[in-house]
Amino acid sequence: MSAVLSFDPRTGEQASTGPSTSTPADVEDACRRAVAASAELAALPRDRRAAFLDACADALDAHRDAIVPIADSETALGVPRLEGELRRTTYQLRLFADAVREGGFLEATIDHAGDTPMGPRPDLRRMLVPIGPVAVFGSSNFPLAFSVPGGDTASALAAGCAVVVKAHSAHPRTAAACLDAFQRACAATGVSADTVQLVFGRDAGVTLVAHHSIRAVGFTGSLTGGKALLDVIAGRDEPIPFYGELSGLNPFVVTPGAAAEQGERIADELFLSFTNGAGQFCTKPGLAFVPVGREGDSLVARLRASVEADATHHLLTEGISRAYAEGREQLGSAAGVEELAHGSESDEGFSATTSIVGLAARDLTDAVAQECFGPVTVVARYDDLDDLVRALTVPPSSLTTTIRGTEAEREFVARVVEVMHDRTGRFVFEGVPTGVAVSWAQHHGGPWPSTNSLHTSVGVTSVRRWLRPLAWQSAPASLLPEELRDGPMAIPRRIDGVLVASAG
Amino acid sequence: MSAVLSFDPRTGEQASTGPSTSTPADVEDACRRAVAASAELAALPRDRRAAFLDACADALDAHRDAIVPIADSETALGVPRLEGELRRTTYQLRLFADAVREGGFLEATIDHAGDTPMGPRPDLRRMLVPIGPVAVFGSSNFPLAFSVPGGDTASALAAGCAVVVKAHSAHPRTAAACLDAFQRACAATGVSADTVQLVFGRDAGVTLVAHHSIRAVGFTGSLTGGKALLDVIAGRDEPIPFYGELSGLNPFVVTPGAAAEQGERIADELFLSFTNGAGQFCTKPGLAFVPVGREGDSLVARLRASVEADATHHLLTEGISRAYAEGREQLGSAAGVEELAHGSESDEGFSATTSIVGLAARDLTDAVAQECFGPVTVVARYDDLDDLVRALTVPPSSLTTTIRGTEAEREFVARVVEVMHDRTGRFVFEGVPTGVAVSWAQHHGGPWPSTNSLHTSVGVTSVRRWLRPLAWQSAPASLLPEELRDGPMAIPRRIDGVLVASAG
């Protein structure tokens, strides 16, 4: 057993000793406790489960002054960004509490006994039930919103599943501080303290995913990390679902009309989007398509000026910093690619120099169309729609596709939508792809390699990942879950084929 | 290229030459065509897609006199059963057509732009879209309802995905006859003839699952076969979802009260359920728990009498026949197991002798708690509730759990429900588990090894398997799918968090 080290990215120094790594016995113990806690949480009436989610949000809010400085010291993301991230995190927990009260996520369905062309049909009732303990792998880049108290944890708790989080090594003390908030929420609402648990260390993560009690895995991280965990799952006796949010190049298309009419604004938005959080967003636009010619040139000139004036960023870890330097070098040495501009350089801590590189869209290759975590983007200049469409088929599928066009270019934009329809999870027509709103309609996912699932990891419908259907045939009312009994019920249900919004 | 042989199970003779096995080039060609056909089907307005499903049902009905005799000659399941199966199949297609018109399966969700604690939220709209070409592996035991025109095909077409079916070797000519009906439906409704295609041969099935154009696989069959295809998927560059309906022991519990009050009726229903279709149902009750004592004895005596009077059955293939004989032998030689009765014996064709074996519930082991495809069931006699509960934890999870109890035994039954909650996909409280009704509330699935998915393969919600979410942020109305535009819409939608049943 050794300590998990905690570093300050601004200096590269070890700032303090973090929690201890978890032993195999620790993981075994956590899984055993999670089984009991999961059963308890699943048995809790929905209003109490919702109250627990609200209490988690309240506890995180109450611990803001403890959590944010620790997170800042471990991530260098800055206090304003981290306060915003905590607001997002608690909003998310409260939105899930609302969704649990509303009950539509249960997909409660009742078919009364009846006659069909197949003969008599028995009474059948169905709803979704929690699958059991879930392992969550938090990401490095969102120490709050996609880590211990993040979307995977919130949605799993909403579904009624206990969670064992493998803390990300980039922010172990932040993870421990968030766990503390959860445990206060458990105590305040009479929920088992084992409902959210934490393990530390890479080996513990592997042991966790391999453990027979774990029923699903939520993961936000690299494609390489995701594939490694998929291999662990392949070695299990029982396969379990793995929901990996893995990578994103996030093409950003500027039409000729948009370059002409809003070139400066788009350049500024794009600059902020690819440098925000030191470019460490899964939805960072890593590949911008800009038309050749005067208006495109103006847009790029504006972008260069912003990049050249940009201060040095600090990346989350030494590993990310090293990978970024290598990624920039690979981009710069690819055929047809030239560096257009870079920001100020520094050697202090896990530093990163902002950069844009350029090439002709027709020269775009797999080697260039790769995600590079950090403040860099590739500007591909295209001649016309045909040139653009050809280039758009080069990159792998992505979480998002942004298309900045004008009213008058409806056909141009529609053609890009058509080409990207099967290659993306979300289309963005105004603004930028970063800043993934938490809402009912949000979708954060997409075709491989952006994710490996047909689900979202952000928004209310992310709850579906932790649920399975269960049916009751000809059941006495007393053995049915409350939500499936006859009579009025203040949740949406489908009764004899007809969706009844509430009080069915 | 060789011919797929077609056998008559009643004689074991090769009845005629079937279609040719598909070459790798055939599979490549089918996949290429499926990509184009899938895009066309996805682009079809919902009412036209629904009309196509109805036309498929009509064409199958119109070909009844051609299909049923071929299916009977290849399966020995008998004309009445096969006519019923075709009725089920066409009912299913028409129910899916209704569901496509109703539109709830799209999960259309609209969040208008607004303010949140996180700041302003853009306009976000989301619905489910088809994932693309689907490979379907039909099962041997339902040549119609779970094969070429079965639930996987019907639900994939309803989702808007073209289908390439790997025909089961147990009924190649039936598969070809069903494809003919589909092609007539395509011609009648102006839908591409490549919307449903057929490939033959085991190698063709492997090539199909490995093909980059295939976006998901539906499989009904053995655990061994399912695992083999999972290995093929693990070797792909891009993982794809595999929906395997794999195995089922389907425990059938008779309480002391039910044995006393309805013992004879339950014995008769159980007998029919485990011998129906020669016991080749995935929901066959393969393990019955009967109380010790006089009432249990009476039930078992009645069961023995039925078994002893039963004629020889014919199984679907020589392989299933051989596996059944081996399975019976293994059961019979297991510790503590004795044969209670068997039916008439015959060597003709792929014959199978009906059988029941018995043991004390406390002697139940993994070796006995195994699915054995064919007309056999295990009767485990239990002393009391504790003895029963212990024994119920021995078998693997199942598609169904049947509990035949009485009003007065509410606590006994509730305890069994509690134990089996995480081990089953459907509870049955009256009747038998065989005969899986097609409806909105049906669930045919369950924890591993019954399936490997959190979805159902029967009923309307099976459509969800072939869909993925797609979101549109700040999209102009003209670029949105019709179902996501503002204004009244005759489908259920969730608008600003509120589910609106229709005409929102």
Over range A141-149, report the average pLDDT: 96
Contact of A405 with A412, CB cutoff 8 Å: yes
Write the residue in B129, B479, B492 that is nearest to A417 by C-beta. Answer: B479
Distance from CA of A437 to the nearest CA of B (A): 6
pLDDT of A252 higher than 80: yes
A chain contacts of residue B497, beta-carbon cutoff 8 Å: 98, 102, 440
C-alpha–C-alpha distance, residues B189 and B305, integer Å: 54
Which residues of chain B lie closer than 8 angstroms to A470, CB-CB? 421, 424-427, 443
Identity of the amino acid at A315: L
pLDDT over 70 for what percent of chain A? 99
Angstrom distances, CA of residue A432 to CA of A404, A425, A435, B111: 9, 14, 8, 18
Closest alpha carbon within chain A to B39: A422
Q: What pLDDT is stored for residue A408 in this prediction?
A: 96
Mean pLDDT of chain B: 96
Residue A283 with chain B: CB contacts under 8 Å: none
Please state the length of chain B.
504
> Which of B448, B467, B469 is nearest residue A445 as measured by Cβ atoms?
B469
Whole-number Å distance between alpha carbons of B251 and B394: 11
Could you say which of A84, A475, A494 has the minimum Cβ distance to residue B440? A494
Looking at residue B1, its pLDDT comes to: 58
CA distance A143 to A317: 12
In angstroms, the separation between the Cα of residue B251 and the nearest Cα of chain A is: 15
**Residue (of B372, B385, B374, B368) closest to B332 by Cα position:** B368
Q: What's the pLDDT at B375? A: 98
Q: What is the pLDDT of residue B117?
A: 85
Q: What is the pLDDT of residue A18?
A: 77
Say which residues have a Cβ less than 8 Å from residue B207's Cβ, sequence separation at least 6.
B24, B27, B28
| Cross-chain residue pair A479–B428, CB shorter than 8 Å | no
ipTM: 0.96
Question: What is the average pLDDT across B346-374?
Answer: 95
CB contacts of A443 in chain B (<8 Å) are 126, 469-471
Q: Please state whether the peptide bond connecting residue A449 to the residue before it is cis, i.e. omega within 30 degrees of 0.
A: yes
Which tens digits make up the pLDDT trace of B190-247?
A: 999 999 999 999 999 999 999 999 999 999 999 999 999 999 998 999 999 999 999 8
Partner-chain residue, chosen from B234, B429, B469, that has the shortest CB–CB distance to A475: B429
| pLDDT tens readout for residues A99-110 | 999 999 999 999
The gap between the terminal CA atoms of chain A, to the nearest Å, is 56
Query: What is the structure's pLDDT at A504?
Result: 43
Dihedrals phi, psi of B471, to nearest 5 degrees: -120, 150
> Chain B residue with minimal CA distance to A115?
B437
Residue B474: its chain A contacts at CB < 8 A? 428-431
Among B427, B464, B491, most A C-beta atoms within 10 A, so best to mutate, is B427
CB B379 within 8 A of CB B356: yes
Q: Are A107 and B461 in contact (CB < 8 Å)? A: yes
Q: What is the pLDDT of residue B504?
A: 43
Of the candidates B240, B118, B78, B152, the one whose C-alpha atom is nearest the C-alpha of residue B444 is: B152
The residue in chain B having the minimum alpha-carbon distance to the alpha carbon of residue A145 is B118
Is 0.90 surpassed by the pTM of this model? yes
Q: Do B471 and A427 touch (CB under 8 A)?
A: yes
The contacts found for A343-349 with CB under 8 angstroms, 24 or more apart, are A343/A307, A343/A308, A343/A309, A343/A310, A343/A311, A343/A312, A343/A375, A344/A310, A344/A311, A344/A312, A345/A312, A346/A312, A348/A10, A348/A11, A348/A12, A348/A312, A349/A8, A349/A9, A349/A10, A349/A11, A349/A12, A349/A13, A349/A76, A349/A314
Tokens linked to B357: 């074996």
Angle at alpha carbon of residue A221, lines to A216 and A223, rounded to 5°: 95
Contact at CB, B494 and A443, closer than 8 angstroms: no
List the structure tokens of B281: 């149902």
Strand ranges inside B24-95, DSSP E: none
Chain A residues inside the 8 Å CB shell of B111:
437, 439-442
- How many percent of chain B have pLDDT more than 70? 99
The DSSP secondary-structure symbol of B344 reads -
Residue A375 has pLDDT above 70, yes or no: yes
Six token digits for residue B294:
């006089």
**A130 has a pLDDT exceeding 80:** yes
Task: Check A441 against B475: CB less than 8 A apart.
Answer: no
Contact B410 A478 (CB under 8 A): yes
- Interface A:B, Cβ pairs < 8 A: 226
Q: Is residue B16 pLDDT above 90, yes or no?
A: no
Strand A398-404 versus strand A355-360 pairing type? unpaired
Q: Which of B84, B425, B474 sits opposite A431 (nearest CB)?
A: B474
A163-166/A134-137 β-pairing: parallel
Q: Which residues in chain A have their CB less than 8 angstroms from residue B440's CB?
A: 109, 111, 494, 496-497
Nearest CA in chain B to A403: B475
Q: What average pLDDT does the segment A279-293 reach?
A: 97
Nearest to B454 among A110, A467, A497 (CB): A467
The mean per-residue pLDDT over the stretch A318-344 comes to: 96
Reply yes or no on whether B372 is catalytic.
no
Judge: B116–A91 Cβ closer than 8 Å, yes or no.
yes
Mean pLDDT of chain A: 96
Stretch A465-485: mean pLDDT: 97
Q: What value does the mean pLDDT take over residues A33-44?
A: 98
Which residues of A carry out catalysis?
245, 282
Q: Which residues of B touch A241 (CB under 8 A)?
A: 454
Q: How far is A154 from chain B (nearest CA, A)?
A: 17
Q: Where does residue A490 rank: exposed (0-12), middle (13-18), buried (19+ CB within 10 A)?
A: exposed
Minimal Cβ distance to A475: which of B131, B427, B449: B427
Does residue A503 surpass a pLDDT of 70? no
Contact across the interface for A238 and B448, Cβ inside 8 Å: yes
Taking a C-beta distance cutoff of 8 angstroms, is the pair B110, B496 a contact? yes
pLDDT tens-digit map of B269-287 = 999 999 999 999 999 999 9
pLDDT at B175 over 90: yes
Q: How many residues does chain A have?
A: 504
Q: How does DSSP assign B353-405, residue by residue?
A: --EEEEEEGGG--TTTSS---SSEEEEEEESSHHHHHHHHTSSPPEEEEEEE-
CA B383 – CA B391 distance, rounded (Å): 11
CA dist B332 → A102, B267, B322, B337 (Å): 53, 21, 15, 6
| Band of pLDDT at residue A1, cut at 50, 70 and 90 | low
Q: What is the dihedral of CA B335, B395, B228, B241, to 10 degrees?
A: 180
Distance from CA of B245 to the nearest CA of A (A): 14
Shortest Cα–Cα distance, B166 to chain A (Å):
24
Query: What does the pLDDT look like over B35-94, one tens digit per residue?
Result: 999 999 999 999 999 999 999 999 999 999 999 999 999 999 999 999 999 999 999 999
Q: Does residue A469 surpass a pLDDT of 70?
A: yes
